[in-house]
Amino acid sequence: MSATLRFDNIGKVFPGVRALDGVSFDVNAGEVHGLMGENGAGKSTLLKVLGGEYQPDSGRVLIDGNEVKFASAAASIAAGIAVIHQELQYVPDLTVAENLLLGALPSTFGWVHKREAKKHVRDRLLQMGVDLDPNAKLKKLSIAQRQMVEICKALLRNARVIALDEPTSSLSHRETEVLFKLVRDLKADNRALIYISHRMDEIYELCNTCTIFRDGRKIASHPNLAEVPRDTLVQEMVGREISDIYDYKPRALGDVRFAVKNVEGHALREPTSFEVRRGEIVGFFGLVGAGRSELMHLVYGADRKKAGTITLDGEPIKVRSAGEAIRHGIVLCPEDRKEEGIVAMATVSENINISCRRHYLRAGLFLDRKKEAETADRFIQLLKIKTPSRRQKIRFLSGGNQQKAILSRWLAEPELKVVILDEPTRGIDVGAKHEIYHVIYQLAERGCAIVMISSELPEVLGVSDRIVVMRQGRIAGELPREQANEQSVLNLALPVQSEPTAQAA
């Protein structure tokens, strides 16, 4: 019996990077095939080959034993393949029904039959057991719901092979559960699924088979995933042994370095206060929409706060803009790397030097190119940023390496006092995560006060000295490291009125 989908010796080269190197494996109907590997290992490139966005330089893609060539995304779709990317593709101002039928709206001579379209979509959604309003505009939906729309689009086209690229990276616990149920239903429906994730738990929970990538090569395929220990996977991904990925060691804490008092503003339900001591790492946990990022944007001066004071080393300071915060030694690594972090068209060096260059200007205006090159090269080495050179455009780097460049941007600040990290390891592989944790620890050792927002509970528990939990726009409680566990944190994070259904994975 031939596999539903077979990759045979696929190769793809980009200028400066060998993205895929002789990759072969099978995906069978009725299985969820996990793909794991560090960022830049080639998983996303493989999906783009499958989706018809890239043409492989060598090798073949076979469906049911027949070779197929996808000259375009349309050709791939026509062959029954649906690739759902991390960055979702949708039209925010159109309705669910319109988005679902985009390109195939029922019409006569260009006149769209709206009612028919809606009815069709409603029927199909009902069939699939998905609770979505066909009339709702996409921009009004949550990210999870938008993802659902994307999956439904694949189902409406009756796709036989469905590939999901890190679908849960911006979902809450409960939303993830809904997604998982859908994936299991699809598996039971005998479709072939490819599932990319960095979260070990998810892979074990969902997948029968798992293939590991590293540096564009397939390292191993595990047909019976359940029998393979985690450490083996991690080792295969990273290429070396990582005993404890968090590697936490207690530190001596100093005086209160950063104090926020009674801050009020957008998305906060009540005046909010918190403190961070020298050398302390405070983890902020909460469900999506709990107001963590919004609070930090207020503190950082990126959004206007209505009231509240900020104290740094006992001195009250004014923070009215990001620029002012940075001059005080307060920095923020934003949550959305692509939208708020990198300048995609600029080089790695530009992205690193964008802020710190003001310290070595000549005549207050002219750049010191030599110094900037030094700084960029120093951090590329120090944080092991994988790039052909500092002159490479940053958009060609993998997510983990982009994140390291953003971290470098702030590490290059000479007097760093407070570091706010918003989802610093989202969408990043184990190896890079490990390295980023070590950077965080080093900053703490240097006496920085560190705030780390994360939606990954194990990470918050593993890295923080203290955990602040937010719920619906207010701080719900605080737990020292010793008292924090999945249960205690989730108890604070989950909305009170609903029954406690969500369980820690």
Kindly list the residues in this chain that would bind other proteins in the complex (CB under 8 A): 13-18, 54, 57, 215, 239, 300, 302, 321-323, 325-327, 332, 334, 339-346, 350, 354-355, 357-358, 361, 365-367, 369, 384, 386-388, 409
Measured from the CB atom, the residue of 44 and 95 that comes closer to other proteins is 44
Strand, helix or coil for residue 457: helix
Task: Find the shortest distance in angstroms from Cβ 107 to other proteins.
Answer: 29
- Look up residue 358 and give its amino acid: R
For residues 8 and 61, the answer to whether their CB atoms sit within 8 Å is yes
Q: How far is CA 173 from CA 168, 290, 485, in A?
A: 9, 13, 16
Instruction: List Cβ neighbours of 72 (8 Å cut-off, separation of 6 or more).
Output: 52
CA proximity to 424, closest of 480, 462, 376: 462
Task: Find the shortest distance in angstroms from Cβ 408 to other proteins.
Answer: 12
d(CA 459, CA 437): 10
Helix locations, 110-193, DSSP H: 114-128, 143-156, 173-188
Q: What angle do CA 10, 396, 450 make, to 5 degrees?
A: 120
Task: Find the shortest distance in angstroms from Cβ 217 to other proteins.
Answer: 11
Measured from the CB atom, the residue of 14 and 247 that comes closer to other proteins is 14
Measured from the CB atom, the residue of 3 and 322 that comes closer to other proteins is 322
Measured from the CB atom, the residue of 177 and 215 that comes closer to other proteins is 215
Task: Find the shortest distance in angstroms from Cβ 159 to other proteins.
Answer: 24
For residues 488 and 479, the answer to whether their CB atoms sit within 8 Å is yes
For residues 210 and 234, the answer to whether their CB atoms sit within 8 Å is no
CA proximity to 215, closest of 49, 380, 386, 42: 42
Task: Find the shortest distance in angstroms from Cβ 435 to other proteins.
Answer: 12
d(CA 485, CA 461): 7
Tokens of 150: 């994307």
Measured from the CB atom, the residue of 98 and 350 that comes closer to other proteins is 350
d(CA 372, CA 391): 12
Task: Find the shortest distance in angstroms from Cβ 339 to other proteins.
Answer: 6
Measured from the CB atom, the residue of 256 and 322 that comes closer to other proteins is 322
Which strands form 161-165's sheet, in the order they lie side by side? 81-84, 161-165, 192-196, 32-37, 209-214, 217-222
Task: Find the shortest distance in angstroms from Cβ 387 to other proteins.
Answer: 8
d(CA 486, CA 462): 11
Measured from the CB atom, the residue of 132 and 430 that comes closer to other proteins is 430
For residues 174 and 202, the answer to whether their CB atoms sit within 8 Å is no
Task: Find the shortest distance in angstroms from Cβ 392 to other proteins.
Answer: 10
CA proximity to 44, closest of 19, 22, 10, 16: 19
Task: Find the shortest distance in angstroms from Cβ 360 to other proteins.
Answer: 11
Measured from the CB atom, the residue of 14 and 189 that comes closer to other proteins is 14
Strand residues in 291-407 grouped as ranges (E)? 307-312, 315-317, 330-333
Measured from the CB atom, the residue of 26 and 422 that comes closer to other proteins is 422
Task: Find the shortest distance in angstroms from Cβ 83 to other proteins.
Answer: 16
Tokens of 63: 């469906």
Measured from the CB atom, the residue of 31 and 422 that comes closer to other proteins is 422
Task: Find the shortest distance in angstroms from Cβ 327 to other proteins.
Answer: 8
Measured from the CB atom, the residue of 286 and 431 that comes closer to other proteins is 431
For residues 279 and 252, the answer to whether their CB atoms sit within 8 Å is yes
Instruction: List Cβ neighbours of 242 (8 Å cut-off, separation of 6 or more).
Output: 234, 235, 430, 431, 434
